[in-house]
Amino acid sequence: MTQETALLSTSPVTGEMNAPVRKVFVKTYGCQMNVYDSDRMSDALSRDGYVATDVLEEADFVLLNTCHIREKAAEKVYSELGRLRELKKEKAREGREMLIGVAGCVAQAEGNEILRRAPAVDLVIGPQTYHRLPEALKRARTGERVVETEYAIEDKFDYLPAPDKAKTRSRGVTAFLTVQEGCDKFCTFCVVPYTRGAEVSRPVAQIIAEAEKLVEAGVREITLLGQNVNAWHGVGADEREWGLGDLLRRLGEVEGLARLRYTTSHPRDMDDSLIEAHRSMAKLMPYLHLPVQSGSDRILKAMNRRHTAAEYLALVERIRTAQPDLALSGDFIVGFPGETEADFEDTLRLVEAVNYAQAFSFKYSTRPGTPGAELKDQVPEDVKAKRLERLQALLTKQQRGFAEACVGREIDVLLEKPGRLPGQLVGRSPWLQPVNVDAKASQIGDIIKVRITKAGPNSLFAEMIEEPRARSLTA
């Protein structure tokens, strides 16, 4: 018997007396939505006596929460499964059991294929069925190889337990909250509509209740998540149909919640009410991730983005008029099928015109099952690599310029965690940059006024100029 399985408890779900305490190791790939999902799956398993571990070798259950967005991301999962297979064998030789599960978008897209390609896998579970994970794991422990990828008719959020206060606190003073899942946009390069399904918005009351619980446990900043977060809609307490702007205004009333963010937005869903929230809500941070993908109208059309470069620029102008201090972030794909040098130059021109504070850029990756994969004019890898290098050089220059323009500014920073040096804490600027500042550990969760003294390559440095304006909740 291993040291960890010698610990005994009672499972609140099964009521099993003396159920062994088991350890789960969760590895998360991809976007923030996966980070949120991993926490919710850990919370669901904790009701069955599983405790989280970050030591792989200790785990009785290893769960990979995967990403399918680009080929590289999906292939990484199979390499990791190869390594886990060896660990599983080693443990078996010592008489210890280790189950392996695959969750997330690779699980949804490949289902049974994973069991075929990776014989060590015991369990495959798609994003819409996470509430069934404890049950599926129980079946896997009896030797069944389980695949749970059918879309559930029930709402998983009605079944997934909220974390307790202590657990929420241990995760820090900032938190993610998924408000919307799936996508109906069908960009021709993207797997999300197939792996995450149709667009669904969570109801207002459910979101408010979750936000209030987070804040009660000491969370000061919430980032609302969705594959298409600004497509969120729902019926408000006033019986009106609300959009994301209304939801943000309602969340702004939650006492103790100091900061709000949201990601990722589609340009087509940036409505007036949401832009107005950027003008009028001090709690809504002046940061917007608004992917454009390309600056060429021809490519935007082929991508089915449903807007032109000029429309995107006009939208940026409107949002900046509402909130002049806004930091803009974006996503770009280079080498979409048919992209010529002239199309790529259009992208560089758009980037010059916008001046991004932050950006993510990728080489186009062919995803089986998407319309883009069927297109003839695939761009050679070396051309994609050269374009990506040029684009990233420009984006890095802009990002650096944005950081340097912060030097000398007096800003509010939410202190999040200890820094690398003694006596140093790391916080976030309103524009999401990490800020290193000398402060006391007891100040984590406080918002302090600082003066930015230096801009490093990935973070800012600052001195405190005012004691905390807003104390953290001591829930």
Q: Please report, as ranges, the residues that interact with ligand SAM according to CB under 6 A.
A: 31, 69-70, 189-190, 192, 227-228, 264, 266, 291, 293, 331, 333, 362, 364-365, 367
Could you list the residues that contact ligand SF4 (CB under 6 A)? 183, 185-187, 190, 192-193, 227-228, 266
Gap between the Cα atoms of 358 and 354, Å rounded: 11
Beta-bridged to residue 182, according to DSSP, are none
- Out of ligand SF4, ligand SAM, none, which partner does residue 70 contact, by CB within 5 to 8 A per kind? ligand SAM
Q: Which DSSP category does 217 fall into?
A: T
| Residue among 225 and 439 whose Cβ is closer to ligand SAM | 225
Closest CA to 335 of 290, 303, 371: 303
Q: What's the min distance (Å) between Cβ of 453 and ligand SAM?
A: 34
Return the one option of ligand SAM, ligand SF4, none that residue 131 interacts with (CB less than 5 to 8 A, by type).
none
Gap between the terminal Cα atoms of the chain:
39
Residue 193 vs 430, nearer CB to ligand SAM: 193
Residue 186 touches which of ligand SAM, ligand SF4, none (Cβ within 5-8 Å per kind): ligand SF4
Cα 200 to the center of its chain, rounded Å: 17
For 267-409, list the strands marked E by DSSP.
287-289, 327-334, 358-363
Rounded to whole angstroms, the Cα distance separating 379 from 347 reads 16
Q: How far is the CB of 293 from ligand SAM (least distance, A)?
A: 6
Q: Count Cβ atoms within 10 A of the Cβ of residue 273 and give its class: 0-12 exposed, 13-18 middle, 19 or more buried.
A: middle
Closest CB 362 distance from ligand SF4, rounded Å = 11
Whichever of 68 and 132 has its CB closer to ligand SAM, that residue is 68
Nearest to 325 by CA among 282, 266, 290: 282
What is residue 362's three-state secondary structure? strand
Tell me whether residue 132 or residue 266 sits nearer to ligand SAM (CB atom).
266
Q: Which does 362 bind (CB under 5 to 8 A by kind): ligand SAM, ligand SF4, none?
A: ligand SAM
Q: Which does 136 bind (CB under 5 to 8 A by kind): ligand SF4, ligand SAM, none?
A: none
In sequence order, the 6+-apart residues with CB closer than 8 A to the CB of 357 are: 287, 327, 328, 329, 398, 399, 402, 431
**Which residue lies nearer to ligand SF4 by CB, 198 or 385?**
198
The least CB distance from residue 306 to ligand SAM, in Å, is: 10
Whose Cβ is closer to ligand SF4: residue 31's or residue 406's?
31
Contact partner, 233, from ligand SAM, ligand SF4, none, Cβ < 5-8 Å per class: none
List the single partner that 290 binds among ligand SAM, ligand SF4, none, CB under 5 to 8 Å by kind.
none
DSSP single-letter state for residue 345? H
State the nearest-atom distance from the C-beta of 409 to ligand SAM, in Å.
30
Question: Residue 264, preceding bond cis, omega within 30 degrees?
Answer: yes
Best CA proximity match to 391, nearest among 422, 369, 364: 364
Structural Rg of the chain based on CA atoms: 23
Q: How far is the CB of 157 from ligand SAM (least distance, A)?
A: 20
Min dist. Cβ of residue 319 to ligand SF4 (A): 18
Beta bridge partners of 243: 233
Shortest distance in whole angstroms from residue 363 CB to ligand SAM:
7
